[in-house]
Amino acid sequence: MSLSITHLGTGSRGNSTLLESSEVKVLIDQGFSGAQLEKRLGILGISPQEIDCIVLSHHHGDHGGGARVAQNKWNIPVIANERTVQELNLDPMKTQYFESLDIVKVGSDLSLLAVPVPHAGADNVAFVVSHSGERAAIITDLGSWTDELVQHVRGCQHISVEANYDANQLMSGPYPYSLKERISGRGGHLSNDQTGEFLSMVCTEKTRSISLTHLSEKNNKPHLAESTVLFHIDEVFGGDINISSQDGPEITHFIGKDAPEKTQILAELNR
C-alpha cells in the first residue's frame, strides 16, 4: 500500500500535514484552531477522531498552537520533544516524548526520523518519513541546513520544504531591519535561493515530487519561489513540483510500492 502526504495548509497562519497509510492517520504539526482542523480534514472525508496521533516539529504557535486543543477535544495523543511539550503545556497523560534522531514508529508500517534543524528559539526538527521501502521529508522553519540533514534527506522520493521568502522582496519591504535580519539569519527561514541550493544537494533520480511550503504572504510569490528553485535543480530533478498554500488541502503526494505516479488534486478550502 502507499502512504499519502497532504498539507492541510502551510504558512504563518497555521501548518499541519496529514500522513495516511492503510493502518494509521498521523498529523505532523497542528497549528490550527479546532474548527479549522475539523474543516480541513472534512474536505478529505476525515474526522479528527480518526487521527491516531500528532507529531510536533516544534512549539511555535503556527505549528503546535492547536495541539492542546486536539488533546482536550478529541483525546488525540501528541508526540514531541521535551522543550515543545513544556512550552505548549501539553497534557502529560496524552503525550509521548522523542529526542533528536529518534525513530518514532506509528503502527507497523510508518516511522518518522526526527532530524534537528537550526531555528532560533525552538528545538525544531525535520521529519524523514519511511513507508514501504520509500521515504518522504517534511522540513520547515529553518534558516540553514546541516550536513546531517542533507545526509538523511538525500534520495527521498518526496520532499516538502519551505521556500519562505524572496530575498529582494524581504530586503526592500516594510519590515524593520531587526526582523529582516532574524528572518534571513541562520535561525530564521530559507529564502527561495537557499531552498534551491538545498534541493540541488538532496534530489536524486529517486526524487519524484517536491512541495514548496510556508511561503511568506508579504515577502514571496508562488511564481518566484517555483522559478527560483527550478533554476537550481533543473539538471537534477525532472519530477512534479507544486506550491502548498495557506488555504489547503489542495494536493496529495504518495510514496510506497503501490504509489500512484501522479498527484491527486483536491478541492480548495472555502473560507
CA distance linking residue 65 with residue 63, whole number of Å: 6
Return the pLDDT at 260: 76
Does residue 171 form part of some domain?
A: yes
Percentage of residues in the chain having pLDDT higher than 70: 96
Per-residue pLDDT, 173: 93
Q: Are 183 and 169 in contact (CB under 8 A)?
A: no
In a domain, 270, yes or no: no
Q: What is the pTM of this model?
A: 0.95
Residue 224 lies in a domain: yes
Question: What is the span of the domain harbouring residue 91?
Answer: 3-265
Does residue 185 lie within any of the structural domains? yes
Model confidence pLDDT, tens digit, residues 183-232: 999 999 999 999 999 999 999 999 999 999 999 999 999 999 999 999 99
225 occurs within a structural domain: yes
Q: Omega of the bond prior to 222 within 30 degrees of 0, cis?
A: no
SS3 255: strand
**CATH code: domain of residue 128:** 3.60.15.10
Write out pLDDT tens, residues 94-135.
999 999 999 999 999 999 999 999 998 899 999 999 999 999
Q: Is residue 150 situated within a structural domain? A: yes
| Alpha helices, DSSP H, located in the chain | 34-43, 61-64, 67-74, 82-88, 147-153, 167-172, 177-184, 192-202, 222-233
pLDDT tens readout for residues 220-271: 999 999 999 999 999 999 999 999 999 999 999 999 877 776 666 555 444 4
Domains of the chain: total: 1
